[in-house]
Amino acid sequence: MSKIFLKNAYVMKSSDSETKKYNIAVNDGKIIKITGENDFFDENGYEIFDLNNKLITPGFINSHSHAVMTYFRGNSDDTTIKEWLFDNMLPREEFLNDEMAYYGAMTGFMEMISSGITTSVDMYMFTDSISKAAADTGIRAYVSRGLSYDTQEGWERRINENIETYKKYNNYDGRIKIGFGPHAPYTVPMEKFRELSEIINDYKESINQIHIYEGLWEKESYKLSDLEETGFLSHNVIAAHCVHADDEDIKILKRNNVTVAHNPSSNMKLGSGTAPIKKFIDSGINVTLGTDGAGSNNSLNILKEAHMASMLQKNTIGPEKIKKEEILKMCWENGAHALNEKIGEIREGYMADLVVFDLNDEEWLPNNTVKFKSHLVYNIPKKSLYATMINGKWVYFDRKFPGINKEDIYEKFGKYCDKIEADFYNYSNNLGK
C-alpha cells in the first residue's frame, strides 16, 4: 500500500471546523499525520501530490441507495408512487440478471464516486453482483439483500442469499460490509421480523436497512410499535424516509437508536411529503442523507441532496431553522456514527476517505475560506470535483477512474438498458392482449 502526502491544500476537517491549509500524510489506508502549512514533515518514501488551490473535505456518506436502479432513470418521471412502483419499477426488475446487476451497480457507484461519495449504503437483490461492483470501483459499501415475504420458500431463499453474500464479501478489503435488508413492514409480516431478529443475533456487527413510512398510506398498514416489539429495530438499523413518523414513532426510533436516512429529492419527486428532519434532530435521533435510487431521484449526487435537504426544511419550517453545518454533519459525522466507522472527518487515525475540489472553478467564487461551506451546500459544486480517495487509494483522479475501462462499462450498461426496455415493451404489449 502506497504512502501518500497531500500538500498545500485547504482542508475542511469536519462540519464544525474552520477551513485552513494543512498537509495530510496517508499510509495503509489511514490518515496518519496532519501537519500545519509550515510544519516540517519527512516526505521520504511518500508519493507527493501538490494540491495548491484545491480543497480537501471528508468523503460523503450516502446512507440510502439502490445503485442498480441506475437502469431505470427517466422511466417513470411524472407518475404517482404506486404507478411508479407497481407499473414501472417492479416489472422491469423481473428482467435483470446477475451480470446486468453488476453493470448497473458499477455505473451507479462510478456516478457516486464522481460526486464525492466514498461510502454507500445499498439495499437490493443481486447482492453478490453489487458487492463485486463495490470491490471493483473501490467504494466503501454496506450492502443488504432486500428481503420481502411471498412464500416461506421465497423468504428462506432470500435470507440464504443474504447469508451467502455475507460469507463471501463481508469485510472484503476492510471496506465492504454485509447486513440484512427487510424491505418494509408492509412487505414482511411481523412474525418474520421476529425470526429475522433471531438470525441477526448471530451477526451483531451488521448494519441493517429498512424503509419506514415513506408514504402516508403505510400508516394504515402497520404500527411502528409492533415492529419495535419484534426486536428488529434494536439491531443497528438505518431506516430510510420516516416521512410520516409522528411523536410516538419518534420516541420509538430514538430509544432503539435507529438512524433515519433522509432522501429529500426522492421524497419530493414521488410526492411522499416532507420528513420532520429538524424534529428528529432535536429529539436526538441520528439523521443522515441518502440519494435513494436513480429510478426516483434521478441523480446520485449527494451534494444535490444536501442542497435539497436544506431547501426543503427552510421552505417548511423557516430559513433560520436549519444551518449548513447541520446538513454537512448529516453526510459526514452522522453517516459515520450510523456505520460505527472512523470516517466522515479528517483526523489522524481515521480512514483516508477524502474528496478534492478544484478551487479554480467559478463554483468556488468568491474564493474565501469562510464561504466554502456555503458553496458546498448551496451551490452544488459537482463540476469542480477533482478527485476522490477511498481507503487511501485514488479511485477517481483528475476526473478519471484509474484502472477502470469506463467506455466498456457504459457500453455494456447501455446495451443491457436497451434489452430491459425491449423486454418491458413486449411484456406491456402482452398485458394488453
Q: What is the 3-state secondary structure (H, E, C) of 290-309?
A: CCCCCCCCCCCCHHHHHHHH
214 or 358: CB nearest Ni ion:
214
Cβ(351)–Cβ(344) under 8 Å?
no
290 or 381: CB nearest Ni ion:
290
Distance of closest approach, residue 91 Cβ to Ni ion, in angstroms: 18
Q: How many helices (H) and strands (E) does the chain have?
A: 16, 16
β-pair partners for 49:
6
Window 186-225: residues binding Ni ion (CB under 5 A): none
Strand order in the sheet with 60-65: 60-65, 117-124, 140-147, 176-182
266: which residues sit within 8 A by CB, 6+ positions away? 272, 290, 291, 292, 293, 296, 297
Distance of closest approach, residue 394 Cβ to Ni ion, in angstroms: 30
**Residue indicated by cell numbers 394488453:** 432
292 or 345: CB nearest Ni ion:
292
292 or 333: CB nearest Ni ion:
292
Distance of closest approach, residue 240 Cβ to Ni ion, in angstroms: 5
292 or 326: CB nearest Ni ion:
292
Window 243-302: residues binding Ni ion (CB under 5 A): 292
Distance of closest approach, residue 261 Cβ to Ni ion, in angstroms: 9
Distance of closest approach, residue 131 Cβ to Ni ion, in angstroms: 18
Own/partner long-range contacts of 191-194 (Cβ < 8 Å, ≥24 apart): 191/230, 192/149, 192/155, 193/227, 193/230, 193/231, 193/232, 194/230, 194/231, 194/232
Strands (E), 15-78: 20-27, 30-36, 47-50, 54-58, 60-65
Distance of closest approach, residue 10 Cβ to Ni ion, in angstroms: 35
Window 71-110: residues binding Ni ion (CB under 5 A): none
11 or 287: CB nearest Ni ion:
287
Parallel, antiparallel or unpaired: strands 54-58 and 385-390: unpaired
56 or 261: CB nearest Ni ion:
261
Distance of closest approach, residue 290 Cβ to Ni ion, in angstroms: 8
Q: How many residues bind Ni ion (CB under 5 A)?
A: 1
Residues that bind Ni ion (CB under 5 A): 292
